[in-house]
Structure 1
Amino acid sequence: MRRVRSCVFLTSLLVTAPLFAQASWQSIQNEAKGQTVWFNAWGGDQAVNRYLDWVSTEVKTHYDITLNIVHLADAADAVKRIQTESRAGRQTKGSVDLLWVNGENFRTLKEAGLLQTGWATMLPDWRYVDTTKPVSEDFALPTDGAESPWGGAQLTFIGRRATLPAALRDPQALFDYAQRHPGKVSYPRPPDFTGTAFLEQLLLSLTHDPDALKRAPDPHTLEQVTAPLWAYLDKLHPFLWREGNDFPPSPARMDALLASGSLNLSLTFNPAHAQQKVASGELPADAYPFGFEKGMLGNVHFVAIPANSSASAGAKVVANFLLSPPAQIRKADPAIWGDPSVLDPQKLPAPLAASLRQHTPGGLPVVLAEPHAAWVNALEQEWLRRYGTR
C-alpha cells in the first residue's frame, strides 16, 4: 500500500516540476530540509487532526521537514501571539510558521503588515487550483498572494430523515419547523465561526439591501440593513433549544445533540461532514446534508505565513504539499475528512482527476459570497448585545 501511495505522490511531482521555475523552487526545498515548521490550526475535529498527523508524516518522509501541529480552539489565539511578537520587535524567529486563518483574522494580520505576500501563486501546485473559486480574495479582501487555498467550505444544515424527512427551503421554512418542534432547533453561539456564519446566511436571505453587505457596514444604514435579521431572531428564539436562553458552544456539540435526539438539526461548514460522521459512527445513518434553495454561504479556507516565520521555506513546502493532488484527494475522501478540494479536476492528469471527482459532493446549493469581513464584528457585537447576556 505504501508503494502505491508513493507512486501516486511521485506522479504528482513529475507532472508539476517541468512547469515551474525549478531552480528557485529547488532552492526553497533545499533550505526547508531539516526545518521545523509550527503549523497553528483549528483542532476541534478529530478527522482534521488525524489528517494533519498524516501530513506531518508525509512531509517528514519526502522533505525532511518536522511539522508540529499546534491545535487551536480559536485561530484568534495565534493572531494575538503574532501581534504580541510584533509589538515586542520580534521580526524574525516567530513562534508561528504557518497558520490556518479565517477571513476576519486574515484582514487583521494583512492590514497590520504581519503576513508574507506574493508567495502563494508561485507554489508549483497552484497550477491545479480552480481559479473560478474565490481564491484571490478572502472576505472581499484581495489576498495578494499572502494566502494559499487548501479547502472549500459551505454552510450546511444536517438533518435526520426520521425527524426531518424533507430539506428546509428557506428561513421561513426553518421558522415554521422550529415552531412545530419547539426545543429541537438551535445554532452555535456567536462568536463561534459557524454561529456567526449562520447570522450572515440569514442576513443574506432576509435583508432588503444585499448590496450593502459587499461593503463595510455603514453606521447610517446599519440598523435598516440588519432589521429583518433581528426581527426574525426575535421570533425564532422562543422556539429554540432552551428557549433561546442558551446556545451550543460549537458545531461539534450540535452534532452530539443531534445524535442523542436532543436536537433535530446541526450545522457545519463542510458539505461532506454528515457523510464523514455517518461513516465514523458519530451520527446516525439517516443523517443528511442540505441547504436553502436559493443558496448557502460559502468560502475557501487558506493557510498563511507570518512575516516573522522562523521556517519560511519549510512553510511554503508544506503549503504546496497541502495543494498537491494526492493530499487534496485524500482530504476530500469522507472516510478521511471530507473537506472539499480547491483543485480543478480538468487541470489534472486523468487518473488523478477521476480520483478527485469520486470525492466531489454533488447536488450542492449555489454558493453565496460572504459579506465584507467587517460584518463579522458588527453582527457579533449586536448579537451579544441583544441576546448574549441572557
Structure 2
Amino acid sequence: MRKSFVAASIAATLALSSLPTLATSTQTNASQQSWQNTLQQAKGQTVYFNAWGGADNINDYIQWAADRIKAEYDVTLKQVKLTDTSDAVNRVLAEKAAGKNSNGSIDLIWLNGENFRAMKDNNLLFGPFSKSLPNYITYVDENARQSLTQDFGTPVDGMESPWGMAQVIFMHDTATLSNPPKSIADLLTYAKAHPGRITYPEPPQFLGSTFLKQALYELTPYRKALSQPADTVDFDKITAPLWAYLDQLHQVAWRNGQTFPSSSEEMVRLLDDQEIDIALSFDISSASVQIDKGNLPDTVRSYVFTGGTIGNTHFLAIPYNSGAKAGAQVIANFMLSPEAQIKKQTPTVWGDLSVLSYAKLPAAEQAKFDALPRGIATLSIEELGQTLPEPHSSWVGALESEWRKRYAQ
C-alpha cells in the first residue's frame, strides 16, 4: 500500500511539474500560428508608411527596407515623406471625426513623444501589438532602457514598436575650434566671446525644441518637475532661467537671433561654410555621414556635453483605422530584425543606435555589430556618456508656445 501511494505521488508530481512546460509550449505554438496567420494576411498588402523625409540617407534606408520586405514577404512599403509628423496625427484624427474607421490613409507612422501621446490619448492606435512581434520577443530587453517602455513619460503599453535610439551630439571643426564648449553655460560664454558663431534650429523643428529641453535641464534647479505634466507645475518659475539665458544668447547669436536655421541639415551647411562654429544633430553618425558625402571637411568631429545630453527612443505605430494592419506588423517586425538593425546602425547608412539587446543576439549577429565601421567622427557608446531623460511630452508644446511668444519674428 505504501509503495503504491509513493508511486502515485511521484507520478502526480511529475505530471504537475510538466504542466508549465506544456503550457509554455502551447502558448509558443499558438503565437507562432498567430504570426503565420499575420504573414498570410499581409501578402499583397500595400502599407503607406508616413515618416519624416528630411534626410536623404534615411529615405534611402527606408527604400532598402522596402525592397527587402517586398522580396521576402510580398508586402509593398510606400513612404509618405513628412515635414512634420503632427500632420499625420492630425489626418488620422480628422478621419476619426469623419467616421472613417477603416481603410484609413495611413498604415504605419514613425513617431514618439507628444505625437504618440496625442494618438494614444485620442484612441487613434491599433494594438497592443509590439510585444507579439517575433523579433521583439526574441531580441528586445525592456529592462535595458526606460525609454523602451516610457515614451517621453507616456507608457508605451505595446502600442508602438521601438525602431531606434538617438542622442543629441554636437559637431565642430577641429581645424578652427580645438576646445569646444562642453555645457550650456559654456556655450553662452563662447557665444559672447565669438559673436555670430552660435545658433540652434528654430522650434518647433524637433532639434530646436530639443535644444530648449537640453538648456532647461541644465539651467533649472527644478529638474524633477520636468517628469511631470507641464500644466501641473509652476511653469514660469521652472523655465525662468531658460528665457533669461536665451535673452542673452540671442543678442550674440548668428544673425543676432533674428533668424534661425530650419534644420540640422542647414546647420551642417553653415558649419561647412564656416558661418557657425557648432552644429547639432540627433544622429550620432551625422558628422561621419556628411564627411563621407563630401558635405563636411574630414577635420570635423562630434562630442557631447560633460553632464550628458538628451536621448530617446523612436517608434513605429499603427493607426486604429489602417486597412493593412497585418502588413504594417510585418514591416515593424522586419525593422527589428538583426539584419535591418545592423544596416541601420552602419554609420554611412544611418548610424542610428540599435534597440536590440546585444546579450540576446546570437554570437554571429554580435560579431556583425562588432565589425561595424564607426566612422571617423562617430562617438562610441562609451564616449556618448550619460543619456539625459526626455521631459514629459507635454513640455514640448509648452516650451514651443512660450518660445514663439518671446522670439518668433
Query: 1:372 maps to what in 2?
Result: 392
TM superposition shift of 1:365: 2.3
| Contact 1:31/1:314, CA 8 A, preserved across alignment | yes
Q: Secondary structure at the match of 2:148?
A: coil
| Contact 1:272/1:340, CA 8 A, preserved across alignment | no
1:328 & 1:130 partners in 2: Cα distance?
A: 15
Query: 2:116 maps to what in 1?
Result: 106
% same residue? 45
The answer to whether structure 1 residue 129 and structure 2 residue 140 are counterparts is yes
Query: 2:197 maps to what in 1?
Result: 184
Query: 1:58 maps to what in 2?
Result: 68
TM-score by length of 2: 0.89
Q: Secondary structure at the match of 1:21?
A: helix
Residues 208-256 of structure 1, C-alpha deviations (whole Å, 9 max, x = no match):
1101101012466111100111111111111111010110111111111
Query: 1:9 maps to what in 2?
Result: none
AA of the residue aligned to 1:22: Q
Residues 154-176 of structure 1, C-alpha deviations (whole Å, 9 max, x = no match):
11111110222124221121111
TM-score by length of 1: 0.93
AA of the residue aligned to 1:323: L
The answer to whether structure 1 residue 385 and structure 2 residue 398 are counterparts is no
Alignment of 1:274-293 (within 5 A): 274-293=287-306
Q: Which runs of 5+ in 1 are unaligned?
A: 1-17
The answer to whether structure 1 residue 81 and structure 2 residue 101 are counterparts is no
Query: 1:256 maps to what in 2?
Result: 269
1:121 & 1:365 partners in 2: Cα distance?
A: 29
CA 220–371 in structure 1, closer or farther in 2 if over 3 Å, else same: closer
AA of the residue aligned to 1:331: K
TM superposition shift of 1:62: 0.1
Query: 1:37 maps to what in 2?
Result: 47
CA 94–218 in structure 1, closer or farther in 2 if over 3 Å, else same: closer
Kindly report the root-mean-square deviation, in angstroms, between the aligned alpha carbons of the 2 structures.
1.4
Query: 2:77 maps to what in 1?
Result: 67
Q: Secondary structure at the match of 1:298?
A: strand
Q: Secondary structure at the match of 2:100?
A: coil
| Contact 2:225/2:233, CA 8 A, preserved across alignment | no
The answer to whether structure 1 residue 144 and structure 2 residue 162 are counterparts is no
AA of the residue aligned to 2:401: Q
The structure whose Rg is larger is 2
TM superposition shift of 1:20: 8.4
2:325 & 2:237 partners in 1: Cα distance?
A: 46
Aligned residue-pair number:
372
Moved over 2 A (4+): 18-21, 357-362
Q: Secondary structure at the match of 2:105?
A: coil
| Contact 2:112/2:313, CA 8 A, preserved across alignment | no
Segment drifting more, 78-87 vs 124-133: 124-133
Query: 2:169 maps to what in 1?
Result: 156
Query: 2:347 maps to what in 1?
Result: 334
For residue 309 of structure 1, the aligned residue among 311, 322, 343 is 322
TM superposition shift of 1:346: 1.2
Query: 2:10 maps to what in 1?
Result: none
AA of the residue aligned to 1:265: I
Query: 2:106 maps to what in 1?
Result: 96
2:71 & 2:402 partners in 1: Cα distance?
A: 49
2:242 & 2:385 partners in 1: Cα distance?
A: 21
Q: Secondary structure at the match of 2:65?
A: helix
| Contact 2:170/2:279, CA 8 A, preserved across alignment | yes
1:350 & 1:20 partners in 2: Cα distance?
A: 28
2:272 & 2:302 partners in 1: Cα distance?
A: 14
| Contact 1:167/1:291, CA 8 A, preserved across alignment | no
Q: Which runs of 5+ in 2 are unaligned?
A: 1-27, 375-379
